[in-house]
Structure 1
């Protein structure tokens, strides 16, 4: 799939991530010609992109920095906007290297480091008056439940209940009870613009009880909470020079909220919000990176607003994809692709009248897919 000859040019945007299909879909919707680099080069990603390159995997589902830099050097022009998706949360040094050679459209390495180092992040939130959970380098105070997390981790696979972090690179965060919510927003380095709220859930595995499961939205919060969250995100945006699309993970309790973490890049909620009545989110991202924020109302449920859900389907056992997946599945591996147990197979989409309706349809489709792929699992096992 690679031609190492020379840079080709002719692209409006370069998109990079562990899985960049959502970004590629947003680029197509915005009328942009996209060069896409990710670890999968799934069938729909290739169809959406002007060109797609499959990157080498390192340590499971991590990007290989040398392979990425080599691919960009051979296929991308330095002046073309470069948008980063998932896979860079623990790699501010790599982001700095990319920014030095290409036109990075998004938050830079200093912003990433400020948001992903848990202890300095907690101090910053405290100084800004933003409610947040406690973080601990050792055992938490007596009576405080805690979760162990890897610094710079994403996707929830690294999160487990614990009373003591395992060592360097890990920390404990106070475990709070409430609804898991994600706020999609834009930053221009000075202020934030809230776009929508979604709920999130886990797809627990034996060794990963908080593995990311999916999201659904939009839904409405009371006006007071919306105003508080918007003001807090604007203060934080200005404090760390955050630019472009981002998401804030929140825990919402009765009349209260806490900020858990910030993901300073386009994320999974592209799958549910990159559709009318919102304009193409990648276009909003690029505009925000040059200082322009849209005059858009917060997306809330209504007569002309569909409720969408998107969930990750994980392989229950080793399998080989034999047939094309249904039309409501995205990130579609080509027939013949072998997938290890526990790895993501695809994203499943559903639309409904409200959150309960969309999630119920999503669950039925997950079940249909599980039964359809069980034959493939057994065939590989035999």
Structure 2
């Protein structure tokens, strides 16, 4: 059994289930589908501040309740240690990780290392040594040396303990003074220190790295760097698998200078996703996470730099398992590292939906350290690092944010649950018939998803592209990457419209 922990743990829990592993969850939302997927769920009501509070002997702080719940789960699991895996938000609360570690191995960096991996100084050094570019970034304690010299419109103000793009602001006026080193209180992130980072225009990408160390180098579970272009474990083919299935690779897969995956002796680039921009999908804030799609190919030299980053994470820090890297590919083709997230990221679900599930890879990297977890270790012997249950292809997801205040009662919740589960997830769950959930404008309602997996879908994308061209929309009708992107984005929009209509609202 595993314990999935995060502000929103549903996507991680679903991927653990796909690996046929029992799972319990700790999260904030306790959505309908999370409760159906997990064996048990514990909710942390106030994620922003309460997890930082140390447990007390006299009060029922959230951390004390988590401690008790973990102990109960361990007892139900034949008193075997309960390993935990982190999703978004956990990296900001070391006290929560310390509680989890009392009951079993935490399959991620310990709190001290987590802080290092989330520091501006670490990102800058790793970028330089891996050949990636790094934007000028100034921590809050360094603002005095650049005060008065920042150009408005070219700088982002980012929370030090942010997640999902919450709280990020583009400076459009004079830069904040030295005394304004904290972002104003956000309804979900709280008042917290911030850092400045140069704004880099380009394609926002999410890189999924698996850091496995030399024990798997060149062996099962890795993609050797010398393999054919676009080669990947079965079920992880992305654009290459679609091109191969159709018998026509013209403009639809990686070129000879590109790859969907790559591997080295210490790490594997499992896949790369592209995040939706504000022009693609509505959202309450300019830089909030809207969703993503992929896997997409990258130039081979970019893959080599990302592999170097993964190797450094192992060699310098001993990192193992899943690592998310936020990067930007600028118009000149340069790749910029923005930050690292040492845990399950939202974009990893996109890879999992194509059959390339990061969870078995993560567990394989940690397997030698699962001391005492006999039932899980036994299960892992039957879980291949590269699942083959689905044919690959492309997948996408998008967060549906409330365009206005929305009330979800039990009837509306049942209507959402009746929609196809592979298209709508993170379903809100009213507490009772007389107590609907109220979502203020800008809050996430649910997630919509779409896939392109078959030759029929591929042909449909090309027919749609031809129709777009004949209608005088050449940009939307580009065959290849842009054609797939437009097609899958339209599917998301159609499903989102169904959701909002069911809830009695529109964009």
With normalisation by structure 2, the TM-score equals: 0.64
Q: Which residue of structure 1 aligns with residue 233 of structure 2?
A: none
Q: Deviations over 1:278-337 (max 9, x none)?
A: 2x4322211112369x8869xxxxx95321110111122232224221222101112543
Q: Which residue of structure 1 aligns with residue 273 of structure 2?
A: 198
Q: Does the Cα contact within 8 Å between 2:132 and 2:305 map onto a contact in 1?
A: no
Residue 503 of structure 2: SS of its match in structure 1? helix
Matching of residue 13 in structure 1 with residue 13 in structure 2: no
Q: Which residue of structure 2 aligns with residue 9 of structure 1?
A: none
Q: State the 1:116 CA deviation.
A: 1.2
Residue of 364, 371, 376 corresponding to 2:494: 364
Q: Does the Cα contact within 8 Å between 1:119 and 1:135 map onto a contact in 2?
A: no
Matching of residue 345 in structure 1 with residue 345 in structure 2: no
Cα distance in 1 between the residues matched to 2:31 and 2:267: 33
Q: State the 1:184 CA deviation.
A: 1.0
Residue of 257, 262, 272 corresponding to 2:340: 262
Q: State the 1:61 CA deviation.
A: 10
Q: Does the Cα contact within 8 Å between 1:111 and 1:241 map onto a contact in 2?
A: no
Q: Does the Cα contact within 8 Å between 1:164 and 1:172 map onto a contact in 2?
A: no
Q: Which residue of structure 2 aligns with residue 7 of structure 1?
A: none
Residue 56 of structure 1: SS of its match in structure 2? coil
Matching of residue 45 in structure 1 with residue 54 in structure 2: no
Cα distance in 2 between the residues matched to 1:355 and 1:110: 40
Q: Which residue of structure 1 aligns with residue 113 of structure 2?
A: 111
Cα distance change of structure 1 residues 119 and 65 upon mapping to structure 2, 3 Å threshold: farther
Q: Does the Cα contact within 8 Å between 2:81 and 2:103 map onto a contact in 1?
A: no
Cα distance in 2 between the residues matched to 1:376 and 1:363: 12
Please give the residue correspondences for 1:248-259 in structure 2 after superposition, counting only pairs within 5 Å.
248-253=325-330, 254-259=332-337
Residue 362 of structure 2: SS of its match in structure 1? helix
Cα distance in 1 between the residues matched to 2:308 and 2:8: 31
Deviation larger for 26-35 or 68-77 = 68-77
Cα distance in 2 between the residues matched to 1:134 and 1:78: 47
Cα distance in 1 between the residues matched to 2:48 and 2:94: 18
Residue of 387, 401, 410 corresponding to 1:314: 401
Residue of 115, 132, 135 corresponding to 1:133: 135
Q: State the 1:128 CA deviation.
A: 5.3
Please give the residue correspondences for 1:1-382 in structure 2 after superposition, counting only pairs within 5 Å.
12-59=1-48, 64-76=62-74, 79-126=81-128, 129-136=131-138, 137-138=142-143, 139=146, 141-143=149-151, 145-162=154-171, 163-164=175-176, 166-168=180-182, 169-188=193-212, 191-202=266-277, 205=283, 208-253=285-330, 254-278=332-356, 280-290=357-367, 304-321=391-408, 322-323=411-412, 324-325=415-416, 326-327=419-420, 328-335=423-430, 336-352=436-452, 353=458, 354-375=484-505
Residue 312 of structure 2: SS of its match in structure 1? helix
Deviation larger for 21-30 or 316-325 = 316-325
Structure 2 residues without counterparts, runs of 5 or longer:
53-61, 183-192, 215-265, 370-383, 431-435, 453-457, 459-483
Cα distance in 1 between the residues matched to 2:100 and 2:355: 34
Q: Does the Cα contact within 8 Å between 2:360 and 2:386 map onto a contact in 1?
A: no
Q: Deviations over 1:171-209 (max 9, x none)?
A: 101111111011111113562211111100245655x32
Residue 208 of structure 2: SS of its match in structure 1? strand
Q: Which residue of structure 2 aligns with residue 380 of structure 1?
A: none
With normalisation by structure 1, the TM-score equals: 0.84
Q: State the 1:127 CA deviation.
A: 5.1
Cα distance change of structure 1 residues 158 and 237 upon mapping to structure 2, 3 Å threshold: farther
The structure richer in strand per residue is 1
Q: Does the Cα contact within 8 Å between 2:85 and 2:108 map onto a contact in 1?
A: yes
Cα distance in 2 between the residues matched to 1:339 and 1:142: 37
Residue 290 of structure 1: SS of its match in structure 2? helix
Structure 1 residues without counterparts, runs of 5 or longer:
1-11, 298-302, 378-382
RMSD: 3.1
Cα distance in 2 between the residues matched to 1:131 and 1:25: 35
Q: Does the Cα contact within 8 Å between 1:15 and 1:24 map onto a contact in 2?
A: yes
Q: State the 1:151 CA deviation.
A: 0.6
Q: Deviations over 1:216-270 (max 9, x none)?
A: 0011112121122222222234222222112111100222101111111111123
Q: Does the Cα contact within 8 Å between 2:159 and 2:195 map onto a contact in 1?
A: yes
Q: Which residue of structure 2 aligns with residue 4 of structure 1?
A: none
Structure showing greater Rg: 2
